[in-house]
Amino acid sequence: MYTMNRRDFIKATALASVAAVAAVGVDPTLARVVQAAGSRAEGGVDEWVKSVCRFCGTGCGVELGITGGKLVALRGDQQHPTTKGLVCAKALFLPKIVYSKDRLTTPQIRNADGVLEDATWDEAMTLVADKFAEAIEEYGPNSVAYYGSGQAFSEESYYANRLFKGGIGTNNVDGNPRLCMASAVGGYVTTYGKDEPMGSYDDIDHAQTFFLVGSNTTECHPVLFNRILERYQTGDRVRIILLDPRKNPIRKIASVHLDPIPGYDLPIFHAMAYVIIDEGLYDPDFVDQHTVFKKVVKKDDGSTEVVDVDFEGYKEFLEEFTPAKAAEISGVPAAKIKQAAKIFAKGPTTSFWTMGLNQRTAGVWANNLVHNLHLLTGNIGKPGATPFSLTGQPNACGGVRDTGSLAHLLPYGRVVAKEAHRQQMEAIWGAEPGRIQPKPGLHTINMFRGLAAGDVKAMLVLCTNPGQSLPNVTPYREAMKSEDSFMVVLDAYPTRTTELADVVLPAAMWSEKEGVYGMSERRYQLLPKLLTPPGEARPDLEILMDFAARLEERGVVPAGYIADKFETPADVWEEMMLASKDTAYDFTGITRDRLREERGIRWPAPNEDHPGTARRYVKGEDPLLDEGPYADDSLAEGDTKFYARPDGRAVIWLRPMKGPAEPTDDEYPYVLSTGRVLEHWHTGTMTMKAPELLRAQPAAFIEINPKDAKELGLRTGDMVRITSRRGEAVIKARVIDTPRKGMVFVPWHWPDMPSLINRVTIDAFDPGSKQPEFKVCAVQLAKV
């Protein structure tokens, strides 16, 4: 069996991308840079203050070094219960990023010549409020929209959601988590009744098997992967199953690598279930006591309905997905599928997945099928046994999913379609009865299509960069800069979106404002305000409060609804706790004082004495099974009950085969998939401000399988034109045996127009989650 020293593996993983760049003449300096940054963090600091990293959803605890009111260093927080002093390379350069010379410091208004020019706050906010009020008065509340972010603080997202849904009266509230996590939400809700993982990072320390699906954890969640690797090295015969069309670094320690044709992995999950049942590896008692089987059928009138199926019906369904049949569709050998199924069933198994599963037109179904495997084998609700969706942003979970800041949701598991839920939130918010509309608003893609069509007249964009991050971005960029639309953007840096805005409002950066992040394992953590924002920049919540007051003055939000209700983020948090009471998210025990003292608390935590919950749905661990509306005294210690479902049972879904929206053909014979690299994050707005990170990964690249490169006459360093039915990009080739033949891979971080890859991607989306299919589209390749 392959073995490697853990430190060497992490180092090799960190430098994997750099080494490929070094082959074409760039010095791979990242390891030395990280070492130097870490050593500098130990000296010349007046005070160290606990906080949380600004980047991914791992939620790494950090300590910020403050000297003379300035942030001079960052180090990992050794006392943090989950990340234990580790941080990735990106985090170490946050002190440089905060003080980037191109920070936005003054409000700007686009003048008659189309040029952004400096303005006062009053001039900018008057224009913003006037434009929104005019649109609402002339075209109604659904003519305006809010587009938020999984990077905003929870209080900011909650406040904006409250303002738009309960004040203005529109559900046109969405955000960039729609692009990354919506299918995971759909999977959890349709299987268990409510969103969010039931396990925690603690399960890593007990798992015997890790099932890593569509997740390059080494580069996208490196601190978390370090913990997986620790378990791999110290555990007894720990196994890793990797399911990914690319040979990402995890393959080096995987027991089996399943590399399907992109978009054709659903049969693999079904075939694994087939093997588990056929060889008697399932848990019949768990299946009988805790699950039901369902499928969606089409009726004669074209509508659909959900019907119950029994276990025998499920087994009959799986006959269409034997390993041999799955191999024909997916391109993965049947023997590998059988091997993976047997390893998975042995358990305890923890599954981790992210964008490779979610960013698909069958993303919800793919999520369901991973849950199916856990339910069939009883690999759930026990130490080391959990299905766990990882998050790409620091607050997509706590800030958007939990606060209900998407077009179809309301806070803490409520939905706009249910009258009782609307009434509950109208009462908590003090909104007029009936103010919250019963119909979901525009989700991300339809919101920007609405902007293009002229249906959305005014839009507020907060802490995100849709001018670069949307799929098939070109028509949406045209809509954003159109004279027929009005867009205001709150951000800390110039972006591909601020360049299109009518008004740009300079926002405070992480560490210049106070708020809460909720990371992947349901842990809510407080980030303190330590710095003064540069120039005239203001915290986003302060800007939103000013905006709300001006809308009340103009009569488009009822007087007294929101403007005078809150003064600080802590005030907003008090109402958020109240909104969570007696829900599946109950965190009424996570007070502001506790957050200041402790290093985060995992909900549910219904009282101040509760330490937080490592595993939901388990009697003796989940406090909601002991008290409150979900309490059940008939359960014994350790019993499982999926109380968010009416019958207390999770659903095993019979999902049919469904391929990508745009399969390859003779005209467009290659599959494009996009993703990330270790050194950069999202649209590069922050990481490219650190010269060390930019030197490590200075430019976009396209990974091409050597066999495809030979057929195309391409070598590493050649420029390649990537063309789809929507647009093109020109990017430097990296010939490497990482993607499977017929597939190419491009990281999406770089904003320069020749390599802006989202001009090529497709905006088809999952009909349930409305999440776009970034991971699969058909392209042509040609040497430039």
- 410-459 pLDDT, tens digit each: 999 999 999 999 999 999 999 999 999 999 999 999 999 999 999 999 99
The predicted structure's pLDDT at residue 43: 63
Q: Is there a contact between 368 and 597 (Cβ–Cβ < 8 Å)?
A: no
Instruction: Give the burial string for 478-516 (b: 16+ CB within 10 Å, else e).
Output: ebbeeeebbbbbbbbbbbbbbebbbbbbbbbbbbbbbbb
Q: Which CATH superfamily is domain 6-98 in?
A: ADC-like domains (2.20.25.90)
Give residues with Cβ within 8 angstroms of 58, minimum separation 6.
83, 221, 223, 224, 390, 519, 520
Does the pLDDT of residue 130 top 60, yes or no? yes
* Ramachandran angles phi, psi of 589, nearest 5°: -90, -5
pLDDT band at 14 (very low <50, low <70, confident <90, very high): very low
Assign a CATH topology to domain 670-783: Barwin-like endoglucanases (2.40.40)
Q: Is there a contact between 516 and 573 (Cβ–Cβ < 8 Å)?
A: yes
Residue 523 Cα to chain centre, angstroms:
15
- 509-537 pLDDT, tens digit each: 999 999 999 999 999 999 999 999 999 99
The predicted structure's pLDDT at residue 302: 87
- 273-295 pLDDT, tens digit each: 999 999 999 999 999 999 999 99
Q: With pLDDT > 90 as the criterion, what percentage of the chain qualifies?
A: 93
Q: With pLDDT > 70 as the criterion, what percentage of the chain qualifies?
A: 95
- Rg (C-alpha) for the chain, rounded Å, is 25
The predicted structure's pLDDT at residue 44: 85
| Domain residue ranges in the chain | 6-98, 108-179+395-557, 182-389, 670-783
The predicted structure's pLDDT at residue 701: 98
- In the sheet where 256-258 sits, what is the strand order? 256-258, 239-243, 209-213, 349-353, 386-389
List the one residue out of 245, 522, 546 whose CA is nearest residue 401: 522
Average the pLDDT over each of 13-22, 393-402, 484-493 and give the range with the smallest value: 13-22
Give residues with Cβ within 8 angstroms of 21, minimum separation 6.
28, 696, 697, 698, 701
- Which residues are paired to 461 by β-bridges? 147, 489
Give the mean model confidence (pLDDT) for residues 728-755: 97
What is the average pLDDT value for the chain, to the nearest integer? 94
Strands 728-735 and 670-675: unpaired
182-389 shares the fold of 6-98: no
- In the sheet where 70-76 sits, what is the strand order? 47-52, 61-67, 70-76
Give residues with Cβ within 8 angstroms of 748, minimum separation 6.
469, 674, 675, 676, 683, 757, 758, 774
Task: List the structure tokens of 323.
Answer: 């390993």
Give residues with Cβ within 8 angstroms of 588, minimum separation 6.
577, 578, 580, 581, 605, 606, 607
Give the mean model confidence (pLDDT) for residues 180-209: 97
pLDDT band at 351 (very low <50, low <70, confident <90, very high): very high
How far are the Cα atoms of 69, 167, 269, 556, 586 from residue 135, in angstroms, in the given order?
A: 43, 15, 48, 10, 37
Give the mean model confidence (pLDDT) for residues 647-673: 98
pLDDT band at 349 (very low <50, low <70, confident <90, very high): very high
How far are the Cα atoms of 19, 344, 695 from residue 25, in angstroms, in the given order?
A: 10, 43, 12
Does the pLDDT of residue 26 top 50, yes or no? no
Task: List the structure tokens of 463.
Answer: 């802490």
pTM equals 0.95
Helix (H), strand (E), coil (C) string for 426-451: HHHHCCCCCCCCCCCCCCHHHHHHHH
Catalytic residues, by residue number, are 90, 180-181, 355, 392-393
Q: DSSP strand E in 705-761: where? A: 719-723, 728-735, 743-747
Assign a CATH topology to domain 182-389: Dimethylsulfoxide Reductase; domain 2 (3.40.228)
Does the pLDDT of residue 381 top 60, yes or no? yes
DSSP assigned state of 516 = E
Q: Is there a contact between 353 and 390 (Cβ–Cβ < 8 Å)?
A: yes
Assign a CATH topology to domain 108-179+395-557: Rossmann fold (3.40.50)
Spatial separation of the C-alpha atoms in residues 72 and 66, rounded to whole Å: 6
Amino acid, res. 8: D
* Ramachandran angles phi, psi of 289, nearest 5°: -90, -25
Phi-psi region of 535 (alpha: psi -120 to 50; beta: other; left: phi over 0): left
Spatial separation of the C-alpha atoms in residues 368 and 141, rounded to whole Å: 36
Does the pLDDT of residue 13 top 90, yes or no? no
The predicted structure's pLDDT at residue 236: 83
The predicted structure's pLDDT at residue 42: 56
